[in-house]
Chain A
Amino acid sequence: MNTKTYIVLIEDEKNICNFISTTLTSQGYKISTAPNAKTGISLITSGCPDIILLDLGLPDMDGIDIIREIRTWASIPIIVISARTQEKEKVLALDTGADDYITKPFGPSELMARIRTALRHSNSLHTDSLLTQRPYRADGLVIDFEKRLVALDGIPVHLTQIEFKIVSLLAQNSGKVITYDSIISKVWGPYADDNNRILRVNMANIRRKLEKNPAEPHYIFTEIGIGYRMVEEG
């Protein structure tokens, strides 16, 4: 990379700010921090960062509103930092336009992984669609989007139409969590019943076809109450 990746962190806890900026600086990122929404938004508008890390609980503004505001004019990846036990807020943030979330408490390695995923996705958006067209490969699993083929350790796996749609949606967004609602609306259409039982049934079938042990998945992970996340390529 010629220029350092620029990250804006909006977080009101000073200790967490310190920890994150120390970690990111040592990893070669450039970072600015803001203790509240107002300074945060002015930092974003003036600096045009590559990634925004956003804490949902801010003193002056609701995190959801910040996402909404930023999304009116920019598609900069937003990673939400949230506390556990707030599934509804996480889902709302993702559906509002956040790209991913990370749950407190988290370690530096988890944070770095999320940032890399977000960067990769935003790069693939900027360059061209070729990147999303090439097959997805992870640990023995290959998904060829063009030929509509799925193979596990070289052996083709037969998936139904719907199952393939779900798997390719997750694979194209690998590393990111996709909410139940967005899977349902993308696979069954916007007017589908929002009862996610049918999604669970399809996921159970997919799991039985792709995973050696459905109770110890390797490829598709569940984020209870929120959605699914497919393992990153590599």
Chain B
Amino acid sequence: MNHFFEFFSSFLRDFLRVSDLRMPSHQKSGTENSAFRSLPAGIPTEKKPWRDALITFFLLILATALSLLYFEISKNSANVALLYILALILIARGTDGYFWGIFSSLIGVICVNFLFTYPYMALNFTLAGYPVTFLGMLAISFITSASTTYTKRQMQMLAERERLLVEAEKEKMRANLLRAISHDLRTPLTSIIGSGSSYLESGALLDESQKNELVRQIYEDSNWLLNMVENLLSVTRIQDGATNVNKSYESVEEVVAEAVLRLKKRLPDASIKVHVPDELIMLPMDAILIEQVLINLLENAVLHSKSQLPISCYVEKENNSVIFHVRDYGIGIPTERLQTIFDGTPYTGNTSADSSRGMGIGLSICKTIISAHKGSIDVSPCEQGTDFYFSLPDSAQ
């Protein structure tokens, strides 16, 4: 019974140690500075000599106490060494480096010699087989310490590699975005610069309607640029990593209402049917970002569906998530396009790249925003038109 208890409690301690050894490495990957500082060159974990000493002494005393008890009851010292070896293994596993393992093997050997072998309460190093016991315990502590250190280092390396992978993924996403954007920004800018300079240089030669046309073009293209810039700004709100947004509880109907209102300000002809559930839904989110997602989806529906039928935008509540739909009744999207529609890669189908400018970026930004909220965004083709929808988790954090 006692054996079992001892084993169980040390196992528990050991387990706790391993799990709180993991904890800080997770927290580290959250804040970048400390992650860089703790980049492992040699032995990874920071030294905690006090804790190691405490663990060592606690386990040694426990082993000694149990051995004494066992010895008292059975008058047999055969299994005492086993108890010490168990303690030794746990110590080597639980502490950093080799020191405490070796130290406790030494103490263990002395204790066994002092307390449990024939001249009790006296040291006698001339016993037969003694060097074997000593060497055995030493070897056990060495091997356990080494393998523990190795495992810890492995774990650290794994966490590090994971972090680098996430970083690389983020970098790739940013590069994709930048590439797509610089292409898309150039077109309206060319038109603005061209219209502006031809107005200034040859204004005298143009009649009133031509001048108006030039200025109108400048106005339209700068509006389009503004939309793009707002999208870009929203990406910068997602700082440090793709999972860090400023969430606060917002009422869904207010966000939807403002998104629709802002879209209608820009595209007064858009006809949109909006519906929200009767009960008030409050969700943790960055409202500005979700508004941006809704605006992007609605704008795509208005501009690209090539249909006069009203777009419907509605919200559904499920068990622990809320789903926002933007449904148009237009020409639909080719199925081969649907798979990569959120990737931000420019569409190289049979239509020219300029005819669908901005659409890809808008959607990839939507995807970025929604994944930063730990939600999901998807699209499904319908009999007539397309249904874009995204869900946000309704978790009280």
Contact = CB atoms under 8 A, between A and B. Distances in A.
Real binding pair: yes
Contacts of A213: 274-275
Interface in A166-215: 197, 200-201, 203-204, 207-208, 213-215
B80 interface: no
B168 interface: no
Contacts of A203: 251, 254
Given A197-B282, A200-B251, A203-B251, 6 more contacts: A84-B230, A85-B237, A200-B280, A203-B254, A208-B278, A225-B287
Interface in B213-260: 226, 230, 233-234, 237, 249-251, 253-258, 260
8 contacts: A197-B282, A203-B254, A204-B251, A207-B253, A214-B276, A215-B260, A221-B257, A224-B287
A85 B230 CA distance: 9
Q: A85, A216, A217, A225: which has the most chain B beta carbons within 10 Å?
A: A216
B78 interface: no
B233 A224 contact: no
Given A84-B233, A224-B291, A200 B274 contact: no
A214 B253 contact: yes
Nearest to A83: B233
A217 B251 contact: no
Contacts of B255: 222, 224
Nearest to B280: A204
A105 interface: yes
Interface of A: 84-85, 87, 105, 197, 200-201, 203-204, 207-208, 213-217, 221-225
A223 B233 CA distance: 18
B261 interface: yes
Q: Which bracket fits the contact residues of B?
A: 20 to 34
Contacts, number: 58
A224 B274 contact: no
B288 A87 contact: yes
Q: B251, B258, B275: which has the most chain A beta carbons within 10 Å?
A: B251
Nearest to B261: A221
B288 A215 contact: no
Nearest to B251: A200
B282 A200 contact: yes
B275 A224 contact: no
Given A197-B249, A215-B275, A225 B257 contact: no
Interface in B256-286: 256-258, 260-261, 274-276, 278, 280, 282
Nearest to A204: B280
A87 to B, nearest CB: 7
A105 B226 contact: yes
Interface in B287-312: 287-288, 291
Contacts of B258: 221-224
A201 B233 CA distance: 30
Contacts of B288: 85, 87, 224-225
A107 to B, nearest CB: 9
Contacts of A221: 257-258, 261
Given A204-B280, A221-B261, A225-B288, A216 B254 contact: no
Q: A200, A213, A214: which has the most chain B beta carbons within 10 Å?
A: A214
The 5 residue pairs across chains A and B that have the minimum distance between CB atoms:
A204-B280, A215-B274, A222-B254, A215-B276, A224-B287
Contacts of B234: 85
B298 to A, nearest CB: 12
Contacts of A214: 253, 257, 276
A198 to B, nearest CB: 11
Contacts of B282: 197, 200
Contacts of A105: 226
Contacts of A215: 253, 256-257, 260, 274-276, 313, 315
A139 to B, nearest CB: 16
Contacts of A222: 254-255, 257-258
Given A215-B260, A216-B274, A225-B287, A204 B253 contact: yes
Given A87-B288, A204-B251, A224-B288, A216 B280 contact: no
A207 B226 CA distance: 31
A216 B234 CA distance: 24
B119 to A, nearest CB: 74
B301 to A, nearest CB: 16
Nearest to A214: B253
A136 B274 CA distance: 28
B253 A224 contact: no
Nearest to B313: A215
Contacts of B291: 224
A66 B237 CA distance: 28
A102 to B, nearest CB: 13
